[in-house]
Amino acid sequence: MSNRLMSVAGTFYPNHCQAIEAYIQEFDKIQDTSPKLKFRPKAIISPHAGYIYSGFTANCAYKLIDASHFKRVVVIGPSHRVYLKGASVALYDRYETPCGSLAVDVEYSKALMEQYDFLSFSPEVHQEHSTETQMPFVQRYFPEVNVVEIVYGDMNYKSLIPLMKSLLDDPETFLVISTDLSHFYDLKDANSLDSICLKGIETLDVHLLNQGCEACGMIGVKALLEVATKSQLIDYRTSYDASHDDTRVVGYLSALLA
């Protein structure tokens, strides 16, 4: 049996389950109210920085999902460490987290690889934090599901659209698109750039994203917006909220889509 080993536990998120649970309890404690859902979500856009910076924003959206309808969660994020053309889908049996492990939907993953020629399996690509940081939240809020991990590299977002549509149309599949927003601007400029991202995601306007939005997961976000019909912003903040350094901030957003 092969396992997708943890690569950023102890850095981006705690390497002990109790510490992860403590984070989530603290997030719930400081969130005043949960927004009222406007529709039944089929997908989430979630950030992937260290939990001290972006965990609250991610948790705000994950906790709103009714997991009872879903058999699997597909997590898609950009490759930060390894260059690749196209995308890689993980073909491990289990996905390790500090709270145990999740079953990988290997047969579903193989079927996707056979259907989409841009998909392969490159093990070195899967030491990737953009997807791994999502898994403790998936395990917490979707305890019975299997997971699929897809990491993409150099590709046109339009190539991802058919995959996104098939995932969104599948009633048994929930989709997670991982991205952070602008990086290392001062707070004022970051808010300005990120406001374009927020407006584009909220209105499902892919073209608006080209007017200054910066996001490391832009390929996944654009592909999702092309096929989604509903969107609801859940939370936005920057690293300033945790660090109080307004000179070099990173932006984070969570949103629900269908």
Tell me how many degrees the CA angle 7-100-143 measures, rounded to the nearest 5: 110
Contact call for residues 182 and 251 (beta carbons, < 8 A)? yes
Cα atoms in the Cβ-side hemisphere of radius 13 Å centred on 201: 32
Contact call for residues 101 and 95 (beta carbons, < 8 A)? yes
Mean pLDDT along residues 217-245: 98
* DSSP strand pairing (249-257 vs 43-46): antiparallel
Q: Is 2 within a domain? A: no
Residue with tokens 């269908």: 258
Mean pLDDT along residues 64-82: 97
Question: What span, in angstroms and rounded, lies between the C-alpha atoms of 148 and 131?
Answer: 10
pLDDT band at 1; cut points 50, 70, 90: confident
Q: State the Rg of the chain over Cα.
A: 17
pTM over 0.85: yes
Q: Supply the CATH number for residue 220's domain.
A: 3.40.830.10
Contact call for residues 253 and 197 (beta carbons, < 8 A)? yes
Q: Is 152 within a domain? A: yes
- Does 66 have pLDDT greater than 90? yes
Q: Is 57 within a domain? A: yes
- Counting residues of the chain whose pLDDT is more than 70, the rounded percentage is 100
Question: What span, in angstroms and rounded, lies between the C-alpha atoms of 47 and 221?
Answer: 12
Q: Is 156 within a domain? A: yes
Contact call for residues 248 and 187 (beta carbons, < 8 A)? no
Predicted pLDDT of residue 32: 76
Q: Is 237 within a domain? A: yes
Q: What are the tens digits of pLDDT across the range 26-44?
A: 999 888 788 889 999 999 9
| Number of domains forming the structure of the chain | 1
Q: Is 8 within a domain? A: no
Q: Is 7 within a domain? A: no
Residue ranges making up the domain that contains 102: 19-252
Contact call for residues 151 and 86 (beta carbons, < 8 A)? no
Q: Is 177 within a domain? A: yes
Please state at what angle helix 157-169 crosses helix 218-227, rounded to 10 degrees: 50
Mean residue pLDDT of the chain comes to: 97
Residue 214 burial class via C-beta count within 10 angstroms: exposed 0-12, middle 13-18, buried 19 and up: middle
Q: What are the tens digits of pLDDT across the range 91-128?
A: 999 999 999 999 999 999 999 999 999 999 999 999 99
Q: Which two tokens stand for residue 75?
A: 């997590």
pLDDT band at 21; cut points 50, 70, 90: very high
